């Protein structure tokens, strides 16, 4: 990956690769779940602890292959639980498209057939880089006798298109015994987990393969090109799921939806929209175009356009945008509005209240039925501490107003446009906090002589004087008595 981030922590659709695989495994409700970690073990283990404390992180100090990694996990589990029996499933941490349903089908077939080993296989268009499934004859019903890695394959074996996904179901007793018989007699000098299948077959034990219906599930990630391709495939899967659930996604190719997001029936998602992490769209909500919503709740019938939101709560029938930024802690009640070029942070806006345009509202509570004029700012930071602004119900704030926190505007208060409010305004009071207008005649001619402004002022004065003279000349003379 050429990255400081461990490979399995690279994300797609809101979750690291290893998180997708662990989720697929957890869906089976296994008796034990262990993840073998090596490079970047502290970061990988910390992530796993945060999402599923029951996962056992097993350290593989020296990386001697997949068989060695499996042996480390088996020994670590045996040290605490003793030698257990039953089915052991082995998954790879870099196959994030693998579904729980597929792994469940693998385990079911393995146990129904009474096999020692069952490998999840797939027929792929290009098998380059994958181990090949060896059968005694042609077709899916032919007996499986082994797996050969690409570097050890003959030209005839390399032409096989049925590949090993790296996912296996084992009988625990057989696996424990076979892992102790693995050698490193191969070009990689590693203990191959795939050799367990050959050992079982040589011992006369039943082995087989479960062919996955969708070969894309077996795709692994070894570089960022492959990661981007799998991200696209997974996003398409997520989008198709929600469309089948009754969501209208106008352009799935430009819509990105994380796996944690939830979308209600009849929600509409317009192009160039990202619904990230645990974002929720309720029934009838409409989002986009050009939106990025992170951990945001959007209520029924709400409308969000050309906006960026983080940790916000947008109530039913509320309106947001265009070109709006809602930061964490913002809550819009039913029918509230955060209009064009508005930024909010840790702000509560009451039912039916409007902040239509060009405003900043931070650390504030706005009651019901208020109108906050264009260019209004809550000055919430004094250079040391943050302070709150409290605005009651049915308050009108004129345009280009600064509310210097801590400010309190009681129910029914009015604030004149252009005011700077730094105190309380009582119920029904009109607050005017601005200097009286004063015009200073001749200022430009005296202070900016020779400027374009002075020339324009002189022309305007001359034109005005000429108009006045013409008006006087056209006025009828008073009759003589």
Residues annotated as catalytic (active site), given as ranges: 357
Q: Record the tokens describing residue 472, joined without a space.
A: 């006087």
The pLDDT value given to residue 477: 65
pLDDT digits (tens, 9 = 90+) for 424-474: 999 999 999 998 889 999 999 999 999 999 999 999 999 998 888 887 777
Whether 478 has a pLDDT exceeding 90, the answer reads: no
Q: What per-residue confidence (pLDDT) applies to 306? A: 98
Question: What are the residues facing 347 on neighbouring strands?
Answer: 364
Return mean pLDDT, the chain: 95
Q: Give the side-chain half-sphere CA count within 13 A for 255.
A: 24
Give the pLDDT confidence of 167-181 residue by residue, as tens digits. 999 999 999 999 999
- Distance (Å, whole) CA 116 – CA 228: 36
Q: Rounded distance, CA 330 to CA 345, Å? A: 6
- Residue 15: strand pairing partners: 12
Name the token pair of 299. Answer: 């209520």
pTM for this model (two decimals)? 0.90
What is the C-alpha separation between 92 and 220, in angstroms, rounded? 8
Dihedral sign for Cα atoms in the order 13, 15, 18, 23: negative
DSSP states along 444-460: HHHHSTTSHHHHHHHHH
The DSSP 8-state label assigned to residue 254 in this structure reads G
Residue 161 CA, chain-centre distance (Å), reads: 36
Count the Cβ atoms, other than its own, within 10 Å of residue 236: 14
pLDDT for 186: 82
Give the confidence band of 138 by pLDDT, cuts at 50, 70, 90: confident
Q: Poorest-confidence range of 5-9, 81-85, 137-141, 400-404?
A: 137-141
Closest by Cα among 163, 208, 185, 179 to 74: 179
Residue 344 has pLDDT above 70, yes or no: yes
pLDDT, tens digit, for every residue of 54-107? 999 999 998 899 999 999 999 999 998 888 899 999 999 999 999 999 999 999
Shortest CA distance to 354 belongs to which of 342, 339, 376?
339
pLDDT at 481: 63
- Asked if omega into 322 is within 30° of 0 (cis), the reply is yes
Statement: residue 163 has pLDDT above 80 = yes
CA–centroid distance for 307 within its chain: 15
pLDDT confidence of residue 452 = 94
Q: Which pLDDT does position 187 carry in this prediction?
A: 79
Number of helices and strands in the chain (H, E): 10, 39
**Is the bond preceding residue 289 a cis peptide, omega within 30 degrees?**
yes
CA of 80: how far to CAs of 28, 76, 77, 398, in Å? 22, 7, 6, 70
Quote the pLDDT of residue 223.
96
* Distance (Å, whole) CA 310 – CA 312: 5
pLDDT at 278 > cutoff 70: yes
Give the tens place of pLDDT for each residue, 393-430.
999 999 999 999 999 999 999 999 999 999 999 999 99
d(CA 167, CA 233): 20
At residue 283, φ and ψ (nearest 5 deg) are: -55, 130
Helices (H), 245-353: none
**DSSP one-letter string for 373-387:** -TT-EEE-B-SS-B-
**pLDDT tens digit string along 111-122?**
999 999 999 999
Q: Report how far residue 293's alpha carbon sits from residue 388's, in angstroms, rounded to the nearest whole number.
A: 26
The whole-number average pLDDT for the span 363-376 is 98
| pLDDT at residue 470 in the model | 80
Our CA angle for 241, 260, 210, nearest 5°, is: 60
Best CA proximity match to 327, nearest among 372, 375, 360: 360
Distance CA 83, CA 230 (A): 37
Rounded distance between C-alpha atoms, residue 244 and residue 41, angstroms: 39
What gap in Å lies between CA 338 and CA 6, rounded to an integer?
41
Instruction: State the pLDDT at residue 191.
Output: 93
Q: How far apart are CA 322 and CA 334, in angstroms?
A: 18
Which secondary structure element, helix H or strand E, spans residue 236, and what is its range?
Answer: helix 224-244
Structural contact between residues 148 and 156, judged by C-beta atoms closer than 8 angstroms = no
Query: What percent of the chain stands above pLDDT 70?
Result: 99
> What DSSP designation does 391 have?
E
The residue-averaged pLDDT of 19-33 equals 96
Q: Give tens-digit pLDDT for 205-222.
A: 999 999 999 999 999 999
Q: What is the mean pLDDT of residues 280-295?
A: 98
């Amino acid at each position: 990956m050429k990255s400081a981030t461990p490979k399995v922590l690279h994300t797609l659709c809101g979750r690291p690769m290893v998180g997708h695989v662990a989720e697929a495994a957890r869906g089976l409700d296994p008796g034990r779940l262990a993840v073998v970690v090596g490079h970047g073990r502290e970061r990988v283990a910390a992530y796993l602890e945060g999402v599923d404390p029951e996962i056992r992180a097993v350290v593989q100090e020296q990386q001697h292959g997949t068989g060695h990694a499996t042996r480390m996990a088996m020994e670590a589990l045996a040290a605490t639980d003793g030698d257990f029996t039953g089915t052991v499933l082995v998954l790879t941490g870099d196959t994030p498209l693998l579904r729980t349903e597929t792994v469940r089908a693998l385990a079911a077939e393995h146990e129904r057939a009474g096999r020692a080993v069952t490998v999840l296989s797939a027929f792929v268009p290009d098998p380059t880089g994958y181990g090949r499934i060896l059968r005694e004859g042609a077709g899916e019903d032919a007996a499986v006798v082994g797996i050969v890695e690409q570097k050890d394959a003959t030209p005839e074996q390399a032409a096989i298109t049925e590949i090993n996904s790296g996912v296996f179901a084992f009988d625990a007793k057989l696996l424990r015994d076979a892992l102790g018989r693995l050698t490193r007699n191969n070009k990689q000098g590693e203990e191959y987990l795939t050799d367990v299948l050959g050992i079982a077959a040589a011992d006369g034990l039943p082995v087989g393969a479960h062919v996955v219906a969708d070969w894309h599930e077996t795709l692994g990630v070894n570089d960022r090109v492959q990661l981007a391709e799998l991200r696209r495939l997974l996003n398409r899967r997520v989008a198709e799921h929600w469309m089948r659930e009754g969501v209208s996604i106008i352009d799935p190719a430009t819509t990105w939806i994380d796996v944690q997001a939830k979308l209600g029936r009849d929600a509409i998602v317009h192009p160039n929209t990202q619904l990230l992490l645990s974002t929720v769209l309720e029934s009838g909500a409409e989002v986009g175009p050009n939106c990025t919503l992170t951990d945001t709740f959007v209520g029924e019938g709400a409308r969000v356009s050309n906006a960026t939101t983080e940790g916000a709560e947008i109530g039913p029938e509320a309106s947001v945008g265009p070109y709006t930024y809602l930061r964490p802690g913002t809550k819009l009640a039913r029918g509230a509005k955060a209009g064009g070029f508005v930024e909010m942070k840790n702000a509560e806006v009451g039912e039916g209240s409007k902040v239509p345009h060009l405003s900043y509202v931070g650390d504030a509570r706005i009651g019901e039925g208020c109108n906050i004029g264009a260019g209004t700012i809550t000055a919430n930071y004094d250079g040391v501490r943050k302070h709150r602004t409290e605005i009651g119900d049915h308050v009108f704030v004129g345009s280009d107003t600064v509310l210097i926190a801590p400010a309190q505007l009681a129910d029914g208060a009015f604030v004149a446009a252009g005011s700077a409010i730094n105190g309380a305004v009582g119920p029904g009071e009109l607050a005017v906090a601005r200097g009286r207008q004063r015009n200073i005649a001749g200022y430009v001619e005296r202070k900016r002589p020779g400027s374009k402004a002075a020339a324009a002022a002189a022309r305007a004065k001359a034109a005005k004087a000429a108009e006045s003279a013409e008006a006087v000349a056209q006025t009828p003379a008073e009759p003589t008595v």
